Structure 1
Amino acid sequence: MATRPNEGQITCKDCDSIILELPNITDTNKLIIALRSKYKLEVDEAHGIQETISKCQLVDIGKAKNEFILIEYDYKDGCMAAYPWKYQIIFKQGNTTPIHIGAYDSIQSIELNNEKYLLATESTGKGNGLHKLLTVSNNSIINVLDLDYDDIHTVDSYGDDGYFVNPLSISVKDFNHDGYEDLVFKGSRKMLMGSTEYGDHYDLKESEYYIKPVVFVFIYDSKSNKYIAQEDYWKKYIKLYL
């Protein structure tokens, strides 16, 4: 097995040379060290890590032909506070200055209204989180999905009061028939707790668990170029989130 070089053996110039070769990778070990050193990536090594480059590809982002390199460095394990134990770095080919560094559970390409986006899934170690819809503006990455942690989670696999039976399905359709495509999340939530008429919460017996459908629709606003929640989903589904 080849001996892995350490950070002291790779200079800043070496880092730049390695990164400028992307998306071609000639030495994965050196690339990992270059990424960690160049971009000061914090890695929790207490649990023993297994470093990989799990993604390295060209992606289009935005309305024009904007081709970027998306590279994902994954170190597999760590404390829950450090989850998801991976980083995604986005930059123009031939440029070592990233336009974005994120730490998402997953990230995938999606196209709506003739614009190409990256749909990112943010999640805590417990499995609660949300989605972001990323595009490029003024040479930086912005989120255009009107959703934050004060809203209903679109990621929920942690069985406290309940959880989504499966990850929400994601579809693109003109939901309000205005000629623009909208983003729809749909699924079911299994409830493990109930509430009394006075608002007190209690654990349900297993035989009392029940499932409720959920749908989150984000309507495209052409003026702001954002996807806005069709209604107040916290008020709509408050009884499902105790």
Structure 2
Amino acid sequence: MKKTFLSAFLPLFILNCTHKKENIQQTDKENPNLTMSIPLEYLANYPAIKDSSKFIQNLQQAFDLHVHESPVQQKGEKITVFKKVKINGSDQEYYFIEYDWKTGPNSGYPWKNQLLLTQEGKLVKILSAERYEFVSIFPKQNPHLLATTVTGHGNGGHEIYKVTADSLENIYGGNVRTYDAHEDNKIYEPHELQLKIKDYNNDGFNDIAFTGKLVFIQGRTPQGDWYDATTIDGKQVDYSVDHPFQKIPVEYIFLYDKKSGHFKAKEDYAEKYKLFE
């Protein structure tokens, strides 16, 4: 009797173990970042960091951070932020860490990482933002994480994150540059367009907009040719940041789509401003 029971039980036991293993593999596949973690001992002293060099070393090793190694970098590197935060989409607390190594090649700018970790020390997301901010878009809800991404040449844009199933989801669908300090033929004023939060379509949900001025530091003919100088009343006029050709107010509006939970462009701004690209 016992032998019969064991014979019937073993296949069920094996099947159950196999099923659990498949579920674990599937979860890891869906959230690959959650397979990477830092030893909890380095988070246990929160909000203090007893050994910053060891803390940084463990961050680099645990999350495979690609850092430009040099004596200058090692001398200036530091943890600039280590705090607990809540982000829209979840009531859980997360560790938010910013590691700044100050210098490196232009291709690696802005030479800093922001990391979001679970309470268990598992990685949710690595960002490389010039600037970040926790912004309250919807009343009585946890803030969203706003990240300003910028290249070494001074071109960039924005990302807006919420938490979705232990991952960070970018809910801003912008296809237009919102940061421009690259002095080619135009820049923005200010370089990072200002974020404005307002219910533009009066549907009861706040929308967002990026506003500022498009500053032309070169002239442009009706045919689309750029030029640096012109002659006005017999005098040569050179165009520059301090003496621009033209300034145009811009406002890129992104309406909140309740169904998708994303902010979508009110109109095709790439098409609208194509004469200035």
TM bin (shorter chain): 0.7 to 0.9
Give how far 1:188 is off: 0.9
Partner of 2:228: 203
Structure 2: any 5+ residue segments left out of the alignment?
1-36, 230-237
Q: SS at 1:189's partner residue? A: strand
One-letter amino acid of the structure 1 residue matched with residue 160 of structure 2: L
Give how far 1:33 is off: 1.2
Partner of 1:212: 248
Moved runs in structure 1, 4+ residues, more than 3 A? 13-16, 19-24
Partner of 1:8: none
Give how far 1:96 is off: 2.0
Output one character per residue of 1:52-90: Cα deviation in whole Å (capped at 9) or x when no partner: 111111111123412211100000000000111011110
One-letter amino acid of the structure 2 residue matched with residue 58 of structure 1: K
Partner of 2:54: 30
Q: Does 1:43 align with 2:63?
A: no
Q: How does 1:84-99 map to 2 (within 5 A)?
A: 84-93=110-119, 95-99=120-124
Partner of 2:195: 170
Q: SS at 2:136's partner residue? A: strand
One-letter amino acid of the structure 1 residue matched with residue 252 of structure 2: F
Q: Does 1:223 align with 2:223?
A: no
Q: SS at 1:58's partner residue? A: strand
Aligned residues: 225
Partner of 1:111: 136
Give how far 1:121 is off: 0.5
- Whether the 8 Å CA contact 2:38–2:59 is kept in 1: the answer is no
One-letter amino acid of the structure 1 residue matched with residue 144 of structure 2: Y
Q: Does 1:120 align with 2:136?
A: no
One-letter amino acid of the structure 2 residue matched with residue 48 of structure 1: V
Output one character per residue of 1:144-164: Cα deviation in whole Å (capped at 9) or x when no partner: 0002xxx32101011101101
Name the % identity: 32
Q: Within 2, Cα distance between the matches of 1:196 and 1:174?
A: 38
- Whether the 8 Å CA contact 2:110–2:152 is kept in 1: the answer is yes
TM-score (norm 1): 0.86
Q: How does 1:189-200 map to 2 (within 5 A)?
A: 189-200=214-225
Q: SS at 2:123's partner residue? A: coil
Q: Does 1:58 align with 2:84?
A: yes
Q: SS at 1:176's partner residue? A: coil
Partner of 1:156: 180
Moved more, 26-35 or 133-142: 26-35
- Whether the 8 Å CA contact 2:224–2:275 is kept in 1: the answer is no
More helix, by proportion: 2
Task: State which structure, 1 or 2, has the greater radius of gyration over its C-alpha atoms.
Answer: 2
Q: Within 1, Cα distance between the matches of 2:71 and 2:200?
A: 46
Root mean square deviation of aligned Cα: 1.9
Q: Within 2, Cα distance between the matches of 1:25 and 1:231?
A: 47
